[in-house]
Structure 1
Amino acid sequence: MSLRIEPREMAEVLIKIRKMSFAQEMSLKLGKSLLMSGDLYPADIAPVLAPNKYGNMAIFPMAWGFTHQAMSKPLVNCRVETADSKPLWRDSWYRRRCVIPASWYYEWGYPIYEDDSRSIVEHRNTKKIKFAIQTEGSEITYIAGLYRYEEHSGMQVPMFSILTREAAGTVRDIHGRMPLILDKENILDWIRPDGDPSTIVEKALTNIVFEKAVEYHRSPNEFITM
């Protein structure tokens, strides 16, 4: 999975983050760009919605993927079915939830043909292609995530991971999993530290549309799904 952020839709947010001294220090410590537009991959810095110290929704720069000493690659996805029970995710599930606004996300899946008479085996043996997937009728797709702080190069850096669920709606035709996507009206309730995430999960959107995407301009980083 990778993300796409169209600069024309989030220009004000991107400019604000790039001016933050915290973001500039984070970029320097991690050796990562603060461009935060175009195609974003695991380990990149992205704009993320989370509560500030007063409990109000604010935008922050965060790096994509929790790190773990036993893993060589960042943990960029977390299954919503086990987020409340696995030690790695549990604390963030109850106390540190966030939302990643994106124009759409990319996923590799099986192509769909009209009047498809192939068997399931033949379908699964088909070469996967890249799809651009987004919320129907919306310029922004709000993806639910978890975050935590990690020490990197002497700095406390906010890191996020995307929550995934079983694919729903038309996405099931191309892939077995999908991000947990929220309605704009549910964002504030989701990020509230004292909120009930399970209730919001039940309201996740399924009105998702997709189309064949253009080719990657750079190779995506390898990542681990848990």
Structure 2
Amino acid sequence: MSLRIEPKEMAEVLIKVRKMALAQEMSVKLGKSLSMSGDLYPSDIAPVLAPNKHGKMAIFPMAWGFTHRSTPKPLANCRIETADSKPLWRDSWYRRRCVIPASWYYEWGYPVYEDDSRNMIEHRNTKKVKFAIQTEGSDITYIAGLYRYEDHDDMQVPRFSILTREAAGPVRDIHDRMPLILDKDKLIDWIRPNGDPSALVEKSLSNMIFERAIEYPRFPPETIIA
């Protein structure tokens, strides 16, 4: 999975987060760009919604993926089925939840045809293609996540992981998993440390639309510079 952030749609957010001292320090310590727009991948820095010290929803820069000694790659995703039980995720599930706003997300899946007479085995043997997937009727897709702080080069770096669930709605035709997608009205309830995440999971969205992805430059020319 990867994410897409259109700079024109999220210009206000991007300008604000790039000016933060935390973002500047993270960029230096992690050796990562502060573009935070275009196509984003695990280990990139992204704008994330989380509670500030007063408990209000605010925007923060965070690096994508928890790190763990068992793998050199960042753990970009967390299965919702084990988020409340596995030690790596449990504390964040109950105390540190966040939202990643994106224009859409990408997933590799099986092509869908209107008149499809293939059986399931034939369908699963088809070469996968890249899809762009977003919430129907919205320019922004709000993806639920968990976050924590990790020590890196004498800095407490905030890192997030995306929660995934069994695919529902149209996404089931192309992939067996999908991110946990939230309605805009549920964001504050989701990030509240004393909230009930299990109740909100049941209200997550499945009304997604998708199309074959267009390959963009990694950092497009229209990227805004604060």
Separation in 1, partners of 2:144, 2:133: 15
Aligned ranges 1:207-218 → 2 under 5 Å: 207-215=207-215, 217=217
Aligned counterpart, 2:203: 203
Separation in 1, partners of 2:107, 2:37: 18
Separation in 1, partners of 2:51, 2:41: 24
Q: 3-state DSSP class of the match of 1:164? A: strand
Separation in 1, partners of 2:192, 2:105: 24
TM-score w.r.t. the length of structure 2 is 0.95
The two structures, once aligned, show a CA RMSD in angstroms of 0.8
Aligned counterpart, 2:124: 124
Identical columns (%): 81
Alpha-carbon shift at residue 217 of structure 1 (Å): 4.4
Alpha-carbon shift at residue 120 of structure 1 (Å): 1.3
Aligned counterpart, 2:194: 194
Separation in 2, partners of 1:118, 1:130: 20
Counterpart code for 1:151: D
Separation in 2, partners of 1:80, 1:202: 11
Separation in 1, partners of 2:114, 2:137: 24
Separation in 2, partners of 1:127, 1:88: 34
TM-score w.r.t. the length of structure 1 is 0.95
Separation in 1, partners of 2:171, 2:131: 10
Counterpart code for 2:208: I
Counterpart code for 1:8: K
Aligned counterpart, 1:48: 48
Aligned counterpart, 1:22: 22
Q: 3-state DSSP class of the match of 2:10? A: helix
**How far does the alpha carbon of each residue in 1:35-66 deviate from its partner, in whole angstroms, 9 at most, with x for none?**
00000000000000000011000000000000
Aligned counterpart, 1:9: 9
Aligned counterpart, 2:146: 146
Separation in 2, partners of 1:177, 1:77: 11
Separation in 2, partners of 1:62, 1:22: 9
8 A contact 1:48–1:62 mirrored in 2:
yes
Q: Which runs of 5+ in 1 are unaligned?
A: 219-226
Counterpart code for 1:19: K
Aligned counterpart, 2:221: none
**How far does the alpha carbon of each residue in 1:138-161 deviate from its partner, in whole angstroms, 9 at most, with x for none?**
000000000000011110000000
8 A contact 1:130–1:215 mirrored in 2:
no
Matched, 1:184 2:184: yes
Matched, 1:63 2:58: no
Separation in 1, partners of 2:56, 2:116: 50
Aligned counterpart, 2:223: none
Separation in 2, partners of 1:119, 1:200: 35
Q: Which runs of 5+ in 2 are unaligned?
A: 219-226
Aligned counterpart, 1:135: 135
Separation in 1, partners of 2:176, 2:39: 22
The size of the alignment, in residue pairs, is 218
Separation in 1, partners of 2:188, 2:95: 14
Alpha-carbon shift at residue 215 of structure 1 (Å): 3.0
